[in-house]
Structure 1
């Protein structure tokens, strides 16, 4: 991983209960749609286990550069997922973007 690499993570809670068919479908569809965007590297779907956090899930991915991160944000599949699924199914979230030291 180079210094330009960006790790993009988002912790979130869905309107649907964790473990429900709706939640599992959202996570599965998120993996399928977002990991297929060519600039996305090391996509992961995460389940929260810490009692110190009240978010249920996470998505984590890496980008080789800021240009790739910007391309991801502007990609039509990402924009469609945000508009059609994220805004309707996610009740709250925290987004984090890191570079490596």
Structure 2
């Protein structure tokens, strides 16, 4: 990442089992709805595979800057997804946001 870019990631587990049709629907709907928000770049749906972490899935996306991230948070489609799907179907989660560090030497 360069400049003021921001990478937003969330790892989560669902109330549904990994083979449940509801899981596939949730992940597909998340990708379709959230990646369509204008400020979202490089949206990915990820499966967590490390035995060191007990979350099951991840969403990762990038934003041009903090203002683009804030616009995403306030976007009606994001707010609706959180209220109508996330709060009902996600059992637990952890969010993390990264910006680039220029390391010298």
TM more than 0.5: yes
Residue 38 (structure 1) aligns with? 38
Residue 19 (structure 1) aligns with? 19
If you compute each CA radius of gyration, which structure gives the higher value, 1 or 2? 2
CA RMSD of aligned residues (A): 0.6
Give ranges in structure 1 of 5+ residues lacking alignment: none
Figure out how many residues of one structure are paired with residues of the other and give that number: 101
Give ranges in structure 2 of 5+ residues lacking alignment: none
Residue 72 (structure 1) aligns with? 72
Q: Given the two structures, how large is their TM-score scaled by the length of structure 1?
A: 0.98
CA distance in structure 2 between the aligned counterparts of 1:59 and 1:95, rounded to whole angstroms: 10
1:82 aligned to 2:82? yes
Q: Given the two structures, how large is their TM-score scaled by the length of structure 2?
A: 0.94
Q: List structure 1 runs of 4+ shifted beyond 4 angstroms.
A: none
